[in-house]
A and B are shown apart, each in its own frame.
Chain A
Amino acid sequence: MTTRIDTRFAELKKQGRAAFVTYVMAGDPDITTSLEIVKALPKAGAEIIELGIPFTDPMADGPSIQAAGLRALKGGMTLKKTLELVRAFRKDDNATPLVLMGYYNPIYIYGVDKFLADAKSAGVDGLIVVDLPPEEDDELCIPALKAGLNFIRLATPTTDDKRLPAVLTNTSGFVYYVSIAGITGAAAADANVVGEAVARIKRHTGLPICVGFGIRTPEAARAIAEKADGSVVGTALVDALKNSLDAEGRATAKTVNAVAELTAALAQGVKAAKQAAE
């Protein structure tokens, strides 16, 4: 089975360049603006979209993404409405891979089988569920693979060679390498250290490896894109969105553009990477 993610990486490989992966929170700051933002991302150069599922207690995320989730929840976002947002996005875009990223509890409460069926039909391509390690694969990972969705696993600096095979066994689409032991939005990673880690993981898998956590600028995105198959940026985009809000935390005329402009600048950085390498 070939998914939109597989197709996208095959295209990028032909062009000899890395993917630019963006993360935004579904429903931040409100459902209508959020859909506009998601629609604007591919036009601004995002090649894969990670869409956060809001959760009250995101234990591996930093303050920016936690605040984004709480804004979205305050604006009435739910998992059901997140899937509706994906469905609305798919009306105009049938090519950009879209990955839902979040925590297990909202999915568990929605019902795993119903969620997988609804996500697939809405046009979701893959899932990243931060608190489901391979030890809990029976919960969602294996049913997701059976339902035709990619299950993208995080590998981290603490995932050693002995553990990597377990992490990679049921992973598909791509591997998300977390560049630092830490939460989202924390200090930047050293591109050379990341390069070594990517080379190490590549000895275990043929899957593309995208790197995230701590990438905020076009320069950093470019440096990572020279070492990996993709650069992931989340917190910087969420911060750009937040800085465009009014005093009451509502969207303004600047909000969609603030995210789109930073996306475009970061995308240029990633595109420059392979040009520099060639």
Chain B
Amino acid sequence: MNIAKPNSYRSGPDERGHFGIFGGRFVAETLMPLILDLEKAYTAAKADPAFQAEMNGYLKNYVGRPSPLYFAERLTEHLGGAKIYLKREELNHTGSHKVNNVLGQIMLARRMGKKRIIAETGAGQHGVATATLCARFGLECVVYMGAVDVERQQPNVIRMEMLGATVMPVQSGTRTLKDAMNEALRDWVTNVHNTFYCIGTVAGPHPYPTLVRDFQSIIGNETKAQMQEVEGRLPDSLVACIGGGSNAMGLFHPFLDDPSVEIFGVEAAGHGLTQLHAASIAGGRPGVLHGNRTYLLMDADGQIQDAHSISAGLDYPGIGPEHSWLHEVGRVNYLSATDDEALAAFQLLSKLEGIIPALEPAHAIAKVMELAPKRPKDHLMVVNLSGRGDKDVPQVGDILRGKSK
């Protein structure tokens, strides 16, 4: 008899990098030997206590972990339902969860003897984290960023340059994150002998979705321990925003085998699901791009479509392959929030809690505003506050001033 559900949601991927039909290694031959090397290096590092110890040292003293699990009392009172906790990833050094993964990959790159690091970035948070750790370890750093994103995320462009990175504005295609990823892959194909590609999310060819997830799982592991400490039990629900989905996967993964925990991923619905948006699961279907099979936004001929979100960090036409699988097996509920809903949530959290979130987690807060009032008062809900809003202040300021005129 076929078993519809796996015994463990945490056992994937298989040895070829597949989560169900998703994942895999769909890259040019030039890159294959390097990807196989990376897999070997990662397997060895994972088993090496010295690697873990060194990472833990930097996580504590450089990144500033553990990040707090904060009870959002005023938000909870305002919404009048579930008890809402914020996992404060925005308090990490560099201002987002991205640094957890970058630290891991940079340490792997050092083990592999690579001196040149490339990265792609949307909102710039992954770029800033990569530029920061390259500065710390004295590595050359090149960050590809869509020209549109360079315009709307100026504060992060300036930060990367101050940290000594070269920011390469990408003029091809839609000039956003998807095109930045294409350019980074082209650079990697060209400079494969000395270059390490530091991917910013749980996507790309195997083993990236796995290793990024593992490095980000510290978010969920800490949440589990912190919730035990303050409430003496597991949370009842988890909520996180999803572009590629690394902050979400980091929070979700340690809880996947806890059936009492409801899990919600929130995609960017942009102007609405029938218009321009970036919700790959809600509005896409399985296809192959950037090294993996996953849900993608595309037309009837398999051409990749433009994504849109107010948040440059969510503006990507795909999603990590493990999310596609978790959607198909039904373990995680994928919802979506529009630009306007995210803006409203951005303002609400700023005013009620004195925390200005990035536009990315504002999408998660937007769904909390819907979900929390429907839950009982003893329901424990954790939201991943994956990044802080400093980078979005100019953009949101312009929008709000425009609206008030």
List chain A positions with a Cβ less than 8 A from chain B.
54-60, 62-63, 66, 73, 78-80, 103-110, 130-133, 135-136, 153-160, 163, 167, 178, 181-183, 186
Residue of A whose beta carbon sits closest to that of B185: A59
Instruction: Give the complex CA separation of A167 and B302 in angstroms.
Output: 27
Q: How far is the CB of A135 from chain B (nearest CB, A)?
A: 5
Q: Which of B26, B30, B33, B191 contacts A136 (CB 8 A)?
A: B26
Contact B28–A130 (Cβ < 8 Å): yes
Residue of B whose beta carbon sits closest to that of A62: B186
Q: How far is the CB of B208 from chain A (nearest CB, A)?
A: 14
* 5 A–B pairs (Cβ distance < 8 Å), ordered by A: A59-B27, A59-B290, A159-B33, A163-B32, A183-B189
Residue of B whose beta carbon sits closest to that of A159: B29
Residue of B whose beta carbon sits closest to that of A80: B301
Instruction: Give the complex CA separation of A60 and B193 in angstroms.
Output: 16
Instruction: Give the complex CA separation of A108 and B172 in angstroms.
Output: 24
Q: How far is the CB of A206 from chain B (nearest CB, A)?
A: 20
Q: Which residues of B contact A182 (CB under 8 A)?
A: 30, 189-190
With A59-B185, A60-B186 as known contacts, state yes or no: A105 contacts B302, CB within 8 Å.
yes
Instruction: Give the complex CA separation of A155 and B288 in angstroms.
Output: 22
Instruction: Give the complex CA separation of A153 and B26 in angstroms.
Output: 14
Is B134 an interface position by the 8 A CB rule? Answer: no
Contact B301–A60 (Cβ < 8 Å): no
Q: Write out, one digit per residue, whether chain B residues 363-403 have a CB within 8 A of any chain A CB (1) or not (0).
A: 00000000000000000000000000000000000000000
Given pairs A158-B30, A181-B191, A181-B192, 12 additional interface contacts (CB within 8 A): A54-B303, A56-B304, A57-B173, A58-B182, A103-B288, A105-B287, A106-B302, A110-B301, A153-B29, A158-B31, A160-B33, A181-B190
Q: Which of A58, A63, A104, A109 contacts B301 (CB 8 A)?
A: A109
Instruction: Give the complex CA separation of A131 and B25 in angstroms.
Output: 8
Instruction: Give the complex CA separation of A98 and B27 in angstroms.
Output: 24
Is B123 an interface position by the 8 A CB rule? Answer: no
Contact B24–A178 (Cβ < 8 Å): no
With A133-B32, A163-B32, A178-B29 as known contacts, state yes or no: A108 contacts B189, CB within 8 Å.
no
With A108-B288, A131-B288, A163-B33 as known contacts, state yes or no: A63 contacts B172, CB within 8 Å.
yes
Q: Which of A79, A131, A157, A167 contacts B27 (CB 8 A)?
A: A131
Residue of A whose beta carbon sits closest to that of B25: A135
Instruction: Give the complex CA separation of A191 and B293 in angstroms.
Output: 37
Contact B28–A59 (Cβ < 8 Å): yes
With A78-B301, A109-B301 as known contacts, state yes or no: A131 contacts B30, CB within 8 Å.
no
Instruction: Give the complex CA separation of A136 and B27 in angstroms.
Output: 10
Contact B287–A109 (Cβ < 8 Å): yes
Q: Which of B24, B189, B290 contacts A181 (CB 8 A)?
A: B189
Contact A181–B30 (Cβ < 8 Å): yes
Q: How far is the CB of A244 from chain B (nearest CB, A)?
A: 22
